[in-house]
Chains A and B, each alone.
Chain A
Amino acid sequence: MKYQSQKVALYYIYGALTLFAAQILLGVVAGTVYVFPNLLSEVLPFNIIRMIHTNALIVWLLMGYFGAAYYLLPEECETEIYSPKLAIIQFWLFMFAAGAAVVGYIFGIHEGREFLEQPLWIKVLIVIVALMFLFNATMTLLKGRKTAISNVLMVALWFVALLFLFAFYNPSNLAVDKMYWWYVVHLWVEGVWELIMASILAFLMIKMTGIDREVIEKWLYVMVSLSLFSGILGTGHHYLWIGTPGYWQWIGNVFSTLEVVPFFSMVVFCFYMVWKGGRDHPNKAALLWSLGCAVMAFFGAGVWGFMHTLSSVNYYTHGTQITAAHGHLAFYGAYVMLNLAIFTYALPYLRGREPYNQQLNMWGFWITTSAMAFMTFTLTFAGVVQTHLQRVLGMSYMEVQDQIALFYWMRLGSGVVVLIGVTMIIWSLVVVPRSAARVTTGVRQPAE
């Protein structure tokens, strides 16, 4: 760690890991309700459990991006954060908003719009948090060196905030509502979040492989171009069979098919850089997470997304467990793993230690990743059976749910294993063993 102000990232990383734990716990509870449908139905109904599960995920990922930005901006811009104090206030405000939202949900206070359930005042608070971040980070960028990585990251984070503004517009017509809803949901995860992913992976590759910045930046530009080219009009794949005009089918089919390409380019990028760099970075776990992120994002977002993206397929699979399978692996592969990669990389520097708990962290990686893959398979099978029984043969929804109960049991099993894996990961990141060697100077960075 070269700059003192990078330490503010610690707040965000610990905050993110706290919400990560909450997200996984609620996920296991939700998985249990699937097999014991009346469990907690009076105290904490399923819709609330799901709300906390998904909201906690999104908030901790965002918190992770803020943390990543506060960690990497000083190194990229070669200057301290504009105002570390503001960054800390921003953190507590964000944590407060997240906590208040969860408490509100438990008492049934929410707007009921999937993923954007936050009451209006919390949405306003989120915008204030975003503005504080954008001001602080942009001022840091302006006073320092401008690199492709920091520019792409900041453009992406600006658009994350701007696109969130569509969350404030909630037309009463459900089809129109969904049109705008996807401006937030799709253009985040299949648009600007991909830029965040590409820029953080590029940062990690520079640091860990020793490949020239010049080479990495070229790859970054290509990945960014491909993401935006396919992702923006790829929004069309959500406008199938929801009351939008039929021409969206053609646009959605063509562009969303191409959305696989940027994810594939990230796999090629990471592996090629690591192979080409041939450098033995001591933080093996961070490298494992980086490579794992690119691969699992390709499968979860790319392959599992393509599986049901064509309008003729989606006609049958829309809103079945196929969607759940894709959603789980895509979020895990692309964005959870991305955050865990940068946390694993940054924490030893922030704590002033040589990389620690590497074995435990990597066991956590394999256990969680295998369990997530298994969960994805069970949900995919559940979705295929559901699609056939419900959409092709026309059986009723609840009758079909009974038929796929076995898959829900297997999903619960894999969920418990995910909980074990995540516990190992969080433990390995947070609990620094006494034996971990201190970095004496605190300045020495691996060669760039």
Chain B
Amino acid sequence: MDNSDEQLMSSRNLDDIGDADDANWGGLEDLPGHPIMWVLILSELVVFGAFLLVFSAARISDPIGFASDQVQLDRVAGGINTLILLTSGLFAVFAVHATKAGDILRCRLWLLATSVLGMIFLIIKFSEYMGKFDVGIGLESSTFFTLYFLITGFHALHVVMGLGVLGVVAIWPSRINIETGTAFWHMIDMVWVLVFPVIYLVR
């Protein structure tokens, strides 16, 4: 085909294409937000999943060491942070509802509320880290703490990136952007819901 055909091809609506696997994103097509975000989300889940498996395997090889390190974690702070992130996820849902209703101002306010909770999460997490550093616990104190800092640190880094993503989609609040950004945010709170019990709670 010549180039004018090619241009036509790229501008036509995805729904017009007869052969479903040809030009759409396959299984990712029906998910909200941009499909490439779901490639990222799936990759993230694989990485955090792998880290939690590694953590669990390391615990099996040293149950006593892990238990004695685990009691030094602040479970109350972790629990509060869980509630905060879950609530922020709810606010993100409200932001999506608002954008579906076409109410951009309300959408932005919910995104702001989501972000504020994200920041509170980071503050609590930061104070937890400081508490550990104050008593001389660092990244290389033990396998438990290496993995604790790496996993929760990676997660906290994602919260920071998530705040950036929410900021960007708040500036350009089209429906697809909001869905894409909040999908990323939900990934972050879902990962925390897995990280918290595995690292803080399981005895």
Contact = CB atoms under 8 A, between A and B. Distances in A.
Interface of A: 78, 212-215, 218, 221-222, 225-226, 229-230, 245-247, 250-251, 253-255, 257-258, 276, 447-448
B43 A212 contact: no
Given A214-B9, A214-B10, A222-B36, A247 B146 contact: yes
Contacts of B71: none
B67 interface: no
State the main secondary structure of chain B at its contact with A: helix
A246 B146 contact: yes
30 contacts: A212-B6, A212-B9, A213-B9, A214-B9, A214-B10, A214-B23, A218-B25, A218-B35, A225-B36, A225-B39, A225-B40, A225-B43, A226-B39, A226-B43, A230-B43, A246-B140, A247-B139, A247-B140, A247-B149, A250-B54, A250-B146, A251-B150, A253-B54, A254-B50, A255-B47, A258-B46, A258-B47, A258-B50, A276-B22, A448-B6
Contacts of B46: 258
Nearest to B21: A276
A447 B46 CA distance: 40
B109 interface: no
Residue from B22, B39, B140 whose CB has the most chain A CB atoms within 10 Å: B39
Contacts of A215: 22-23
Contact of A447 (B1, B25, B54, B146): B1
B68 interface: no
Contacts of B9: 212-214
Given A213-B10, A214-B9, A254 B23 contact: no
B17 to A, nearest CB: 9
Contacts of A225: 36, 39-40, 43
Contacts of B1: 447-448
B147 interface: yes
Contacts of B40: 225, 229
B150 A229 contact: no
Contacts of B146: 246-247, 250
B150 A247 contact: yes
B140 A257 contact: no
A251 B35 CA distance: 27
Given A229-B43, A245-B140, A254 B54 contact: yes
Contacts of A254: 47, 50-51, 54
A448 B23 CA distance: 15
Interface string B1-16: 1110010011000000
Interface in B28-55: 35-36, 39-40, 43, 46-47, 50-51, 54
Contacts of B51: 250, 254
Given A250-B150, A276-B22, 9 more contacts: A212-B6, A218-B23, A218-B35, A226-B39, A229-B40, A230-B43, A247-B146, A251-B150, A258-B47
A154 B74 CA distance: 48
Contacts of A247: 139-140, 146, 149-150
Nearest to B153: A247
**Pairs of residues from A and B, 8 with the lowest C-beta to C-beta distance, nearest first:** A254-B50, A229-B43, A247-B146, A225-B39, A214-B23, A214-B10, A215-B23, A447-B1
Nearest to B35: A218
A235 B2 CA distance: 43
B8 to A, nearest CB: 11
A190 B122 CA distance: 33
B23 A78 contact: no
Centre residue among B1, B6, B40 by max chain A CB count within 10 A? B6
Contacts of A276: 22
Nearest to A247: B146
B147 to A, nearest CB: 6
Nearest to B50: A254
Q: Which residue, of A214, A225, A255, has the highest number of chain B Cβ atoms within 10 A?
A: A214
Nearest to B12: A214
Contacts of A222: 36, 39
B47 A212 contact: no
Nearest to B47: A254
A257 B10 CA distance: 36
A257 B49 CA distance: 13
A360 B150 CA distance: 53
Nearest to A223: B39
B60 to A, nearest CB: 15
B22 A212 contact: yes
B139 to A, nearest CB: 6
Contacts of B10: 213-214
A353 to B, nearest CB: 23
**Which of A222, A225, A250, A447: most chain B CB closer than 10 A?**
A250
Contacts of A448: 1-3, 6
A229 B36 CA distance: 12
B139 A221 contact: no
B50 A257 contact: yes
Contacts of A253: 54
B35 to A, nearest CB: 8
Nearest to A255: B47
Contact of B3 (A78, A257, A258): A78
B150 A213 contact: no
A171 B47 CA distance: 33
A42 B123 CA distance: 65
Contacts of A447: 1-2
Given A214-B10, A214-B23, A250 B147 contact: yes
